[in-house]
Structure 1
Amino acid sequence: MSSAPPRGPPLSRVAVTGGTHGNELSGVCLVKHWLRDPSGLQRRTFAATPVLANPEAAERCVRYINQDLNRSFTAAVLTSEAPPDGPYEVRRAQAIDQLLGPKGSARAFDFIFDLHNTTSNMAACLIASSEENVFAMHVCGYLQKHSRVPCRVYLHGGDIFVSSVSKNGLGLEVGPQPHGVLRADITSQMRSLLAHGLDFIDLFNQGTSFPAFDIVAYKTAGSVDFPRAPGGELLGFVHPKLQDKDFLPLKPGDPIFQLFSGEEIFYEGDATVYPIFINEAAYYEKGTAFIKMEKHTFSIPALEAPGPS
């Protein structure tokens, strides 16, 4: 059970990061637009700061140059010596930490919205650190009420992502959209989600309190790789009955893979799980065909209006 947070000041320093992965074009193109015309990020009580997180990767339209930027915000990376010829994403992580952090400090930004696309059929997925993060959970509840598409909550339980630099944050993962491709419907959904998120912060800053509520969210229960030969070559693919079934129940005995020989492979777990990032293109290199999730319901306490600045 989460406990109600103390009344803090209004949120005045909000950032919107896009292009953390340089081939996820909705965030790349929206942030580039807002860098030219920031009016869409302005609200009555604050103006959000757009940041193109990985400009070199965005320029080349690749996920990253040397390493995954969205896994690079660890204490070890942020405090390491970064020579000019060192990994590009290490230097970018440290630059973002100086711009929007430093991480864990009183000077860090109040909130970061980090924009992502997935090739999986996940619609709108809200990525937060924990159900204990009361403010982020209220943002999730508000977005669920206003989203035009299914809007589910994924609790990743870590602090290595871009949004962990700020005092609070949320990832917006919208798909399906192929990497290196810009779809009007997906980009419109992302833009709408972000607008509602900024509206929530603006309402909060103006003195709105939000009541307690229950929310369904998903937590990681492990991952499953493709069937592979000893050398790592694929022996099959995601089963047609699993493909595009993100967030739907997967029961023991359900088919998950089909080998090139035609043989089927079935899920051998002992409980129902809810797979996400099914057949995500970027996860082939991570040895992940899908991530298993457990479904939970959490009671989120009321969020009181902010105190004086």
Structure 2
Amino acid sequence: MYSTAFVGHHLNRVAVMGGTHGNELSGVYLVKHWLQDPSELQRRTFTATPFLANPKATERCIRYVNQDLNRSFKKSFLTSKGTQDDLYEVRRAQEINQLFGPRDSADAFDFIFDLHNTTSNMAACLIVDSEKSVFTMHMCHHIQKHIQGPCPIYLLGWPEQEKFALLSVAKNGLGLELGPQPHGVLRADVLSHMKALVACGLDFIDLFNQGTSFPAFDTVAYKVIEPMDFPRSPDGEILGFVHPQLQDKDFLPLKPGDPIFQLFSGEEIFYKGDATIYPAFINEAAYYKKGVAFFKLEKCTFSIPPLEASATSAP
């Protein structure tokens, strides 16, 4: 069933989050800028709230302090009784859930943008929880029509009981994953592109609030199948690296028999699947310790129903 949480409703509680990972600097510095001057986040019908998600990690320019904040919004974390012995990111997730949620409640924020960078060649990737999220899929379609360059849609597809990411706190949200950019580094082109994407998303919400309806459409999106690890020795040591022919080929077709890894000995490893897939997050630096060389994705076409104008649109 498609989510129609926003149909007929005015969105006025919108947040823009940066620094969920403290070394992904485009979002960090955009949010710091907007905290000083929020004028770029103002629209006719609302003003978005800038928020630095993980300030301790940001201060140290590291991904996280104790554990990944973007994996700390599981129900078990959010509902546990907080103590001083809790991991920092668990306490921070609980704070964010109280400020911008609580999740799945009527009081939760209408929308959250969560800003990320990746070392992978992901272009301007749009991360959505599911193709059933009608409002966010329409926003993605609007962004793809108005922003130059590829903006692939990456579907998390998490089961209801396994929500784990910051986006799940709000009624709906959009993750922006821009790269390639090294962690701990700012690139002018990537930061400018991220700013334009946020502005386009805010414009879409403003149009909806002012009474614009959006027709049905068909779209391509990529759904996660499973991760693929590097070749490893029995004791877990990496034996090779992403093959040169695969490197930087995010969202491009990978066919059975195509090379995916090259061992340090020079031997090539080939993809043994029985169907074409579309890899993403290829050679992401932060995923080495997670045992992920890339994610295997399925390319899908979806029919998205129309989005009706807000019944409480601005005059």
Shorter-chain TM-score tier: over 0.9
Please report how far the alpha carbon of residue 307 of structure 1 lies from its aligned counterpart in structure 2 after TM superposition. Answer: 1.1
Please point out which of 248, 251, 255 is paired with 1:247. Answer: 251
Matched, 1:122 2:122: yes
1:185 has 2:181 as partner? no
Match of 1:91 in 2: 91
Q: Find out whether 1:111 has 2:111 as its counterpart.
A: yes
SS of the aligned residue for 1:40 comes to helix
**TM-score, structure 1 as length reference:** 0.98
Give the Cα–Cα distance (whole angstroms) in 2 for the partners of residues 37 and 152 of structure 1.
30
Structure 2 Cα separation of the partners of residues 114 and 242 of structure 1: 28
Runs of 4+ in 1 over 3 A off after TM superposition: 1-7
1:1-309 counterparts in 2 under 5 A?
A: 2=2, 7-158=7-158, 159-308=163-312
Q: Secondary structure at the match of 1:187?
A: helix
Query: C-alpha separation between the residues in 2 aligned to 1:147 and 1:77?
Result: 37
Structure 1 spans left out of the alignment, 5+ residues = none
Aligned counterparts of 1:191 and 1:273: Cα–Cα separation in 2: 31
CA RMSD between the two structures: 1.2
**Offset at 1:85?**
3.1
| Change beyond 3 A, Cα 1:228–1:77 | same
Report the Cα distance in structure 2 between the residues aligned to 1:4 and 1:270, rounded to whole angstroms: 37
Q: 1:275 aligns to what SS in structure 2?
A: strand
Distance 1:61 1:14 in 2: 26
Give the C-alpha shift of residue 203 in structure 1: 0.4
Matched residues in 1 for 2:85 and 2:227: separation? 34
C-alpha separation between the residues in 1 aligned to 2:191 and 2:3?
35
What fraction of aligned residue pairs are identical, expressed as a percent? 72
Using the size of structure 2 for normalisation, the TM-score is 0.96
User: Do the aligned partners of residues 190 and 258 (structure 1) sit closer, same or farther apart at CA in structure 2, a change above 3 Å counting?
Assistant: same
Q: C-alpha separation between the residues in 2 aligned to 1:241 and 1:147?
A: 28
Q: Which amino acid counterpart does residue 205 of structure 1 have in structure 2? A: N
Distance 1:63 1:259 in 2: 28
| 3-state DSSP of counterpart to 2:182 | coil
Q: Secondary structure at the match of 1:151?
A: coil
Instruction: Measure, in 2, the Cα distance between the counterparts of 1:3 and 1:246.
Output: 29
Change (3 A) 1:102 1:6: closer
Cα displacement (A) at 1:5? 6.4
* Gap regions ≥5 residues in structure 2: none
CA distance in structure 2 between the partners assigned to 1:175 and 1:82 by the alignment: 35
SS at match of 1:103: coil
Q: Number of aligned pairs?
A: 309
* 1:221 CA drift (Å): 1.1
